[in-house]
A and B are shown apart, each in its own frame.
Chain A
Amino acid sequence: MSWEVVIGLEIHTQLATKSKIFSGASTAYGAEPNTQACLVDLGYPGVLPVLNKEVVHMAAMFGLAVNATVAPRSVFARKNYFYPDLPKGYQISQYELPIVERGELFITDAAGNEKRIGITRAHLEEDAGKSIHEGLDKSSGIDLNRAGTPLLEIVSEPDIRSAKEAVAYMRKIHTIVRYLGISDGNMQEGSFRCDANVSVRPKGQEAFGTRAEIKNLNSFRFVEKAINFEVERQIELIEDGGEVVQETRLYDSDKDETRSMRSKEEANDYRYFPDPDLLPVEIAADFIESVRAELPELPDAKQQRFVEEYEIKKDDAAILTISRQVAAYFEEVAGATDANAQLVANWVVGELSGALNKDGLEIGDSKVSATELAGLLTRIHDNTISGKIAKQVFEAMWAGDGSADEVIEAQGLKQITDSSAIEAVVDKVIEANPGQVAEYKAGKDKLIGFFVGQVMKETQGQANPGQVNQILKAKLSG
């Protein structure tokens, strides 16, 4: 039996506003419990919600960035259920008339082809609070700081056909929301969460199989693993004669398995109806146009431009454009040096990223600025130092030892390009290794590497490798 996997993703991204969607309390992360929960967030008697302007702006930006329709009229609805982290006993969300509809984005599938994934809708809603279950004896503790934080729930069409595609889609959404500045996408802090709806069906069957929903996946890795586990689980279940139950499941990353959630939302009738405390949100065409005009260059367009304008490899362009800040850094460096853009790309994707990851830093906190890196790459380009030495210089720069020139000067790392100086060292090496010389002359060409190594050793790596090669070959053939 050949199986096809059908996946739809629901991504909840917290919008990076200063205040909550319906109240003026702060959304800042990490505050003491309930110090950022005002009366509206606490669901006190008599209080009322008032909509945050910036939330509408951000939703509109997202809609335009994914080629969707930004609804001229959308309505908030109440989703009614009881849970301690939901103080009003209902969540203000959007149901029949969401603010964004019918969008799309493009990922690269397993075969390397561009694939379109539809976005059914994106709607606004308020986040719930948090529950703490440990350390309180027979109680759970409720912190409502997060209650009322604006969320944009982005729902994909069930167009995704594998865990890898799911991750690619999720990464794309992650990149877009960060590009737009509408979310920091911080999965550890919970500002970017993913639910995956997974089902399987025999290849060729039109009808969808029963789906299970895996909730609250907060890393790309977990999304991939959870989906893979679930797909296998479902296939095994069906092949053993069982039926997939429509239910909510959680992913246990320790055991790498999904399991059924206790009946939190079992048999819940949400009784959606339009929220009578809020009026329909109307968005004028000229507002949409003004939002469109201020959209930044989006990842796909930027990636394309990098390939065309800088003539760098597509894969590098893809990596460089994951983050708008990294892309900007790259362009700053490329603009400040005559070194080849591909070299710049290699360095940003390679050494720089490595250093940032090692120190757990974002590009904005890089210890080597774009100008400084440009300075270093210029010195490779003009042959002052070799690429290999440059790595050493970079390390020193990262450690705070100054600019490229300063480090080169201080450590005396200038490349040796004086032919007679190199010749002298080559002569020395040839004299010291008669055995290898004989073998080389006898035909063991690969030994050139050994000689180059010896010369580099003698010159602390500072001899220009190209010249060393040239001179060695000349002397060894003579």
Chain B
Amino acid sequence: MALHTMTMAELTAGLESGDFTSVDVTRSLLDRIAKHDAQLNALITVTGDAALAAAAQADADRAAGNAGMLNGLPVIHKDIFCTRGVKTSCGSKMLDNFVSPYDATVVERMAAAGAVVLGKANMDEFAMGSSNETSFYGPVQNPWDLECSPGGSSGGSAASVAARFAPAATATDTGGSIRQPAALTNTVGIKPTYGRVSRYGMIAFASSLDQAGTITRTAEDAARVLGVMAGFDERDSTSVDVPVPDYLGEIGESIKGLRVGIVRQHFDEGLDADCAVKVKEAIAVLESLGATTVEVDLPNIDLSVPTYYVVAPAECSSNLSRFDGVRFGHRAENAEDLFDLYCRSRGEGFGDEVKRRIMTGAYVLSAGYYDAYYLKAQQVRQLIADDFRKAFADVDVIAGPTTPTPAFRLGDKVDDPITMYLNDIYTIGANLAGLPAISVPCGFVNDLPIGLHLVGTHFAESTLLRCAHQYQQETDWHMACPEDFA
């Protein structure tokens, strides 16, 4: 069996048996990247030498009996995570020259667990986008159809895993940026509960919505990686001190009796009819495994996209003020005065979508508009969170589609921001309420993959992973591989 087709579970077994070494695996994947990434543009930086060194170290550690959970396993980090000594661009010209002096907590923990980092994944600029078309480094192509977008903002992470460049990639999700690309590339993407994974070292977009997660091909691998990423970090005030369950150990449990909620508002004209069919079939599989379904109501869910597009820009407009060319990042040449330095450094360094969101944010926070927009949005956000809480009184998970359609063509939606924003319509609620959610491959429409979306209660990642894993024991959508990347 070719190394690149193996899951982390399979690789770990092979490493343990001595069938191959981490250096073997790493070399094989690096070759693959060299051969195929020109087509996809999924990676901004490849850290080949460091990867081989880390692989050799991992092999030595394993031999010495010191193998961590991710020992010898190649991973790719979304270029939003600070990696010490390595370029960290966040998909932006603003940070094209930025070499991070420190590692994000997520990067530290995975390295300590023995992971081998192959490189940094392409992404929508500053995580703003749903198609990976806003990157300074050019769009990422979807391995399933090179003329299509892989989704965003974690497009590079998703495409890398789908193309078998690595069994796992880290990613981040603010409005759906892990789950949507996972759905569009036939991979598993999980966004944990807000506060479950440390945000320290993860370049901030919208602080109260951002969460780090992972994209893998199986729920089992997601459980393995999440188990390493998750946990309290004293460097992040929003990190929650709640013990991390044994996700990997718990995925085997049955989902008999699991109560699955179906949102009345989801299956309406906004959802592609074929997608609706596939998602309903997936839910039927859950029922065959012993789950029960009931309709739930999320009355304010239609306001989730406008709510998000007030809150997220507001927070990002402030978070991105630190990019001014003074201490790091792009600096305009020959600035006449301070005002010119700021305006041109930022004008040149940021792309259109980022500038648009910064301006939207500045507007909704400005005097005279704060109450009508920002304050109002935070109130509606509370209503949405309350809706979920009420729904979860009767159900354990809420199931539905991850996206309204399968992958769309690159260039299709760039002219109208609203059409692009509506891609996130099913995923955004979970971010607003801070709830964990996962997307699992559940079929193909017009030969393009789509995903089943499951939302859980706070800190119920184990339930989601278990549900996804059991589903994957019954189905084989996730095993499909894009033709050109077999």
Contacts and interface: CB of A to CB of B under 8 A. Distances in A.
Q: Are A and B in contact, CB atoms below 8 Å, in the complex?
A: yes
Interface of A: 39, 42-51, 78, 80, 82, 84, 87-90, 142, 269, 271-273, 276-279
A277 B236 CA distance: 8
Contacts of B101: 39, 44
Contact of B88 (A45, A51, A269, A276): A45
B199 interface: yes
A269 B366 contact: yes
B300 interface: no
A82 B324 contact: yes
Nearest to A80: B318
A39 B322 contact: no
A51 B237 contact: yes
Interface string B99-131: 011101000000000000000000000000000
Nearest to A42: B327
B235 A90 contact: no
Contacts of A48: 199-200, 235-238
B367 interface: yes
Contact of A273 (B81, B326, B338, B374): B374
Contact of B202 (A44, A46, A80, A82): A46
B173 interface: no
A89 B322 contact: yes
A45 B324 contact: no
Nearest to B209: A276
A8 B365 CA distance: 28
Interface string B28-50: 00000000000000000000000
A78 B104 contact: no
Contact of A46 (B200, B208, B362): B200
B90 interface: yes
A295 to B, nearest CB: 29
A142 B235 contact: no
A84 B199 contact: no
B82 interface: yes
Interface of B: 81-82, 88, 90, 95, 98, 100-102, 104, 199-204, 206-208, 234-238, 314-315, 317-318, 320-324, 326-328, 338, 342, 362, 365-367, 370, 374
A271 B237 contact: no
30 contacts: A39-B101, A42-B327, A43-B322, A45-B100, A45-B203, A45-B323, A46-B81, A46-B104, A46-B199, A46-B202, A46-B204, A47-B200, A48-B238, A50-B234, A50-B236, A78-B318, A80-B318, A80-B365, A87-B322, A87-B327, A89-B318, A89-B321, A89-B324, A271-B318, A271-B362, A271-B366, A273-B370, A276-B238, A276-B315, A277-B207
B207 A142 contact: no
B396 to A, nearest CB: 28
A49 B236 CA distance: 7
Contact of A90 (B88, B321, B367): B321
A33 B374 CA distance: 39
Contacts of B82: 45-46
B365 A142 contact: no
Contacts of B323: 45
B89 to A, nearest CB: 10
Listed residue (B208, B321, B365) with the most chain A CB atoms within 10 angstroms of its CB: B321
A48 B202 CA distance: 10
B324 A279 contact: no
A41 to B, nearest CB: 10
Listed residue (B101, B199, B324) with the most chain A CB atoms within 10 angstroms of its CB: B324
Contacts of A45: 82, 88, 90, 95, 98, 100, 203-204, 322-323, 328
A78 B208 CA distance: 14
Nearest to A82: B342
Contacts of A88: 321-322
Given A39-B102, A48-B200, A50-B237, A273 B322 contact: no
Given A44-B327, A87-B322, A271-B365, 16 more contacts: A39-B102, A45-B322, A46-B81, A46-B100, A46-B104, A47-B201, A48-B199, A50-B236, A80-B321, A84-B326, A84-B338, A88-B321, A271-B362, A273-B318, A276-B206, A276-B315
B406 to A, nearest CB: 33
Contacts of A51: 237
A449 B32 CA distance: 111
Contacts of B342: 82
B201 A46 contact: yes
Given A46-B82, A46-B202, A48-B235, A271 B327 contact: no
A316 B194 CA distance: 60
B316 to A, nearest CB: 11
Closest 4 CB pairs of A and B: A89-B321, A276-B207, A271-B365, A276-B208
A49 B365 contact: no
Contact of A142 (B95, B98, B326): B326
Nearest to B210: A276
A269 B88 CA distance: 32
Contacts of A42: 327
Given A39-B101, A84-B338, A273 B201 contact: no
Given A43-B322, A48-B237, A82-B324, A273 B314 contact: yes
Nearest to A268: B367
Contacts of B365: 80, 271-273
A48 to B, nearest CB: 5
Nearest to A275: B207
Given A39-B102, A43-B327, A48-B199, A279 B95 contact: no
Nearest to A86: B321
A42 B203 CA distance: 14
A405 to B, nearest CB: 59
Contacts of A276: 206-208, 238, 315
Given A277-B237, A278-B237, A269 B207 contact: no
Contacts of A273: 314, 318, 365, 370, 374
A179 B202 CA distance: 43
A464 B305 CA distance: 95
A125 to B, nearest CB: 16
